[in-house]
Chain A
Amino acid sequence: MDVVIIVLSLVAVISAIGALFSRDNFYSAIYLAITLLAIGGIYAEHGVYSVFALIAFIFIGAIVIITIAIAATYRFLNPRKINILWLGAIEILAIIVAVTAALNFPALSGFTDAFSSVLSNYMSLITFLVVLTTLIMLSAVSMVRRDSV
């Protein structure tokens, strides 16, 4: 098994646990960005560079940066209300399910990136999604501006 994949998976899980236990929203959002970068790194390690670019530039570059900015504005140090018994039970159950799924899933290799054929076959879908996302952004901005008057 590829060592880089194991290291990136460990980084993703450890930073997600950091996002869970961090009391400050800002650091929680930073840990989230690290998790997403590790997931993008897994895609890049498998040679699927188009999804890495999408995760890195669209998801981390736009959405997670907005989240970090909001988290830096509302650094609400929330009191933890996690029951340790429930936390342990849920995590043990999740680890059992994860190990079972990972062991029973067949080992796959030879990942291919077919972004060029996507651009030719699904151009209308991509155009529709870009227009829809732009429309959502403009609607959100206009709603916020209308509410502020």
Chain B
Amino acid sequence: MMIEIGVSIILLSIGYLIASSAQDVVRLLISLELMFSAVFLSLLPLFSNPQMAAEGSAIAILTIFTSSGELLILVAAIIFLDRKFRSVSIKKVSSGGDAL
């Protein structure tokens, strides 16, 4: 039994719940980070095989750097949103003219 896999699924579901109930983009950023934390935890079985441990470390590094870059872009987008609309509410976000 691997309790970490179960915890990873529960964290992912809580991340989805925060994203679906978010009213502002900062809460959306927090939910994304929680989902990435679930992804980090699900990488743990890669380190159980000594022949795959180096590949597991490489995948973990790739995941952490990729998620960090993605979240940095979202932080810049939050700053843009605040400068343009003076608000971080999701109601201000629109795509192609349609309110989300």
Contact = CB atoms under 8 A, between A and B. Distances in A.
Interface string B9-31: 11111111110011110110110
A108 B17 CA distance: 30
A91 B11 CA distance: 10
A81 B1 contact: no
B73 to A, nearest CB: 7
Contacts of B53: 112-114, 117
A99 B57 contact: no
Nearest to B2: A105
A75 B97 CA distance: 28
- SS class, residues of chain A in contact with chain B: helix
Contacts of B73: 136, 140
Contacts of A98: 5-10
A76 B23 contact: yes
Interface residues of B, number: 64
Interface string A101-139: 111011111111111011001100110011011001100
Given A9-B3, A136-B72, A136-B73, A43 B44 contact: yes
Nearest to B43: A51
Nearest to B9: A98
A16 B14 contact: yes
A1 B1 contact: yes
Contacts of B6: 98-99, 101-102
A136 B1 CA distance: 40
Given A48-B47, A117-B54, A63 B9 contact: no
15 contacts: A5-B3, A19-B14, A19-B34, A20-B18, A35-B34, A39-B40, A46-B47, A51-B40, A67-B29, A74-B26, A76-B24, A81-B21, A111-B48, A113-B53, A132-B69
Given A59-B36, A102-B6, 13 more contacts: A19-B18, A20-B14, A63-B67, A67-B29, A74-B24, A74-B88, A76-B23, A98-B6, A101-B9, A114-B54, A118-B61, A122-B58, A132-B69
